Amino acid sequence: MATTQNRANGNGAAVRSTKVTQGEQENIFLFIPNLIGYSRVVLALASLYYMPLHPRTCSILYSVSCLLDALDGYAARAYEQSTKFGAVLDMVTDRCTTTCLLVFLAQAFPRWSIVFQGLISLDLASHYMHMYATLSMGGSGQSHKNVDESRSWLLKQYYSNNKVLFTFCALNELFFIALYLLSFSSPLLSPTLLADNNNPSSVQPGSPAVPKPSAFFASPFSAAAMEMARANKMDSTVPWILVGVSAPIMVLKQWINIVQMVKASQWLAEGDREMRRKAGLPRREKKRQ
């Protein structure tokens, strides 16, 4: 809050001076981008609730949560509300939602579980090491999206263009969402979806068992039972198309994760060497001399 006072200068003329007092502290947690971030978390949790038996509802909620990732960044720039808390909230939400979906896919396709486990590990390790290296080596005011081209041309192109970043992230998530839908609709990937009245709860390798709805729900006309019945009749054409379109970007996104992890490791190693040099390490060589 600003207050004004009148005082006289050396010539006797009145001069107005302004005294600025500190106002109330801003509530970072209620910034618009962070409110959008909270809504992403709520939508993600709702999608996880519907994930086992409601593929359509889950896919819609999960997709909206992912799309809001672009909106919170836009809001942060438009309202000048970019914060470290918001950046961390955004990254943690991305990592957690993708991990939860990959955990489901690992259970839906046991034969390929090691692949999904590897993707989870790569995603978490790459982003954690990159952010830690940026904050520890680049200074507290540095953003993980500010990448020097001398360190990695690929990462510079990836993080400097918001449209490129959004496209890669969106198509990467689209690939996994399409796989999720195929686990409900493609007998090729999930053999238990094949009609088999004599063995309705087969446990063939490669897919989870799919018992009759009556085994889960007392009423075959309940919403969940009807959704499960519809899910097993889903057409797999569109999900297969989505897989084909998004697969190349998904593969390139994983390559970027590898590059990001390697570059972060090298940057941290540079810092370690410099720190050891300043500390006069190793001391054993000096003693020998």
What integer is the mean pLDDT of 149-162? 80
Most confident of 19-28, 138-147, 187-196, 236-245: 236-245
Question: What structural domains and CATH numbers belong to the chain?
Answer: 28-192+218-275 (1.20.120)
Lowest pLDDT segment from 46-50, 156-160, 200-204, 279-283 = 200-204
Give the distance, in angstroms, between the CA of residue 191 and the centroid of all CA atoms in the same chain: 31
Structure-token pair, residue 86: 């918001």
Res. 82: pLDDT tops 60:
yes
List the catalytic residues.
94
Instruction: Give the pLDDT band (50/70/90) at residue 260.
Output: very high
Start-to-end C-alpha separation, the chain: 65
For 41-76, the pLDDT digits (tens) are: 999 999 999 998 888 899 999 999 999 988 988 999
What integer is the mean pLDDT of 99-110? 94
* pTM, to two decimals: 0.78
Largest CA distance in the chain: 106
Instruction: Give the pLDDT band (50/70/90) at residue 253.
Output: very high
Backbone angles phi, psi at 4, to 5 degrees: -115, 145
Res. 111: pLDDT tops 80:
yes
Instruction: Give the pLDDT band (50/70/90) at residue 220.
Output: low
Higher pLDDT, 40 or 200: 40
For 161-211, the pLDDT digits (tens) are: 888 889 999 999 999 999 999 988 888 887 766 655 454 444 444 444 455
Residue 101: its H or E element: helix 84-108
Q: How far apart are CA 139 and CA 271, in angstroms?
A: 12
Is residue 230 a contact partner of residue 185, using CB atoms and an 8 Å limit?
A: no
Q: Which pLDDT value is given to residue 149?
A: 67
